Amino acid sequence: MTAGLVQHASGCSSRFLPSLPENKILVAQHPLLIVANQTATLVCNYTYNGTGKEFRASLQKGTDSSVEVCFISWNTTKISSNSNKGFNCQGSHDKDKVIFNLWNMNTNQTDIYFCKIEVMYPPPYVYNEKSNGTVIHVKETPTQIQEPQSAIPLWILATVTGILALYSMLITAVSINYWQKSKKHMYRQSDYMNMTPRHPPYQKNKGYPSYAPTRDYTAYRSWQP
């Protein structure tokens, strides 16, 4: 009888003892990010009900989380961040969330990314269970064909073009003026040639005009003293 009462009392006491806080981290991520301008911002929201003082959060790439893209560490007074050489990533911390900013992303970096948050100090070491992750889809950036730029400045080309155009106009004006003067000279010379008297085609001897009477020498031969 006494033993039964003791057992019943112990059971009641254990039932009414307050439960100890569970040292656990929960992480929530957006399931999909579409990257059209090579820049992505991934937000890791988390809840923690422990007494940790120093934390570390990392962004991990791949289904097996084999690549650590970048990480951030912080405590009550200090924050530090580091990025993998193959990525451009910067982490920041704000109350109940960790933000990872990525830029200059390419299509080869399309994958699923996971946030991992760890309690580094004081013990015990705790980290979150693996979340569903975020698929970052990096769209291909359309290539823009740029025309090769001339090494000569535009204003120099415009000046040279203007000078050549002016020179061409001057040459044309001089040529037209010369042609008009030559044409007038030819007309004057032609008029002068038309005004010069010409001999009839039947006149052979220039010493005797065509209208002079012909002498009769027979009269002189018939007269004798």
pLDDT bracket for residue 150 (50, 70, 90): low
pLDDT at 190: 66
For residue 135, give Cα distances in angstroms to 29, 32, 41, 57, 116. 10, 5, 12, 18, 15
pLDDT at 132: 92
Residues 6+ apart with CB under 8 A from 180: none
pLDDT tens-place string over residues 68-116: 999 999 998 888 989 998 999 999 999 899 999 999 999 999 999 999 9
Taking the whole predicted model, whether its pTM rises above 0.75 is answered as: no
Q: In a 10 Å sphere around its CB, with 0-12 CB exposed, 13-18 middle and 19+ buried, how is residue 112 labelled?
A: middle
Three-state SS for 85? coil
pLDDT value at 210 more than 80:
no
Q: Helix, strand, coil % (nearest 5) of the chain?
A: 30, 30, 40
pLDDT value at 5 more than 50:
no
pLDDT at 1: 45
The ranges assigned to domains in the chain are 21-138, 151-179
Q: What is the DSSP letter of 123?
A: S
**Cβ 100 vs Cβ 42: under 8 Å:** yes
pLDDT bracket for residue 13 (50, 70, 90): very low
pLDDT at 115: 98
pLDDT at 30: 95
pLDDT bracket for residue 153 (50, 70, 90): confident
Look at the domain 21-138 and name its fold.
Immunoglobulin-like (2.60.40)
* Nearest by Cα to 35 from 113, 143, 141: 141
Q: Report the distance separating Cα 196 and Cα 212, nearest Å.
A: 23
Longest pairwise C-alpha distance within the chain: 222
pLDDT tens-place string over residues 33-66: 999 999 999 999 999 989 899 999 999 999 999 9
pLDDT at 2: 40
Helical segments of the chain, H only: 2-16, 154-195, 218-222
